[in-house]
């Protein structure tokens, strides 16, 4: 009799639990929400901050590093070059006027590839 009660209890439990399970079926594939998409962002260990002077003249952008006094060509892959020249000339009002900046980027040979920059001081303006 005990075995029969146990079997009935197990049977009823199985029936009870199986009734509460609901399955969602759809003919359309489910769209993955953007929150569940994992993006891997690789940080480049070569990217550093450089403090110095940005000089523009005759179509060439140059950076003079404050720490080493080395000169590097500047490349701005994420920027519109016409807008950069306009920005430089609107601030400095003439070519070859040094503008103190902090450049965030990667140095390759004699070229500094700029990811971001901040203008900190304009030589001779006192602002």
Contact 119, 97 (CB under 8 A): no
Q: What pLDDT, on the 0 to 100 scale, is given for residue 65?
A: 94
Separation between Cα atoms, residue 76 and residue 7, nearest integer Å:
76
**CB within 8 A of 76, min separation 6: which ones?**
61, 84, 114
Number of neighbouring beta carbons within 10 Å of residue 92: 19
List the Cα angle 110/116/118 in 5-degree steps: 100
Domains and CATH numbers, the chain: 47-122 (2.40.50)
Q: What pLDDT, on the 0 to 100 scale, is given for residue 15?
A: 53
Contact 89, 38 (CB under 8 A): no
Q: What pLDDT, on the 0 to 100 scale, is given for residue 84?
A: 93
Contact 56, 95 (CB under 8 A): yes
Alpha carbon 97 to its chain's center: 31
Output the tens digit of pLDDT for each of the chain's 127 residues. Answer: 666 666 666 655 555 455 544 445 555 555 555 554 444 444 444 789 999 999 999 999 999 999 999 999 999 999 999 999 999 999 998 999 999 999 999 999 899 999 999 999 765 555 4
Q: What pLDDT, on the 0 to 100 scale, is given for residue 42?
A: 45
Q: The pTM is what? A: 0.60
């Amino acid at each position: 009799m005990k075995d029969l009660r146990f079997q009935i209890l197990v049977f009823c439990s199985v029936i009870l639990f199986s009734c509460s399970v609901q399955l969602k079926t759809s003919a359309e594939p489910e769209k993955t929400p953007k929150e569940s998409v994992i993006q891997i962002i690789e940080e480049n260990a070569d990217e550093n901050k450089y403090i110095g002077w940005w000089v523009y003249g005759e179509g060439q952008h140059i950076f003079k590093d404050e720490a080493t006094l080395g000169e590097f060509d500047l490349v701005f892959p994420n920027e519109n070059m016409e807008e950069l020249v306009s920005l430089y000339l609107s601030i400095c009002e003439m070519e070859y006027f040094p503008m103190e900046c902090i450049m965030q980027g990667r140095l390759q040979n004699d070229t500094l590839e700029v990811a971001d920059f901040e203008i900190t001081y304009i030589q001779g303006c006192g602002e």
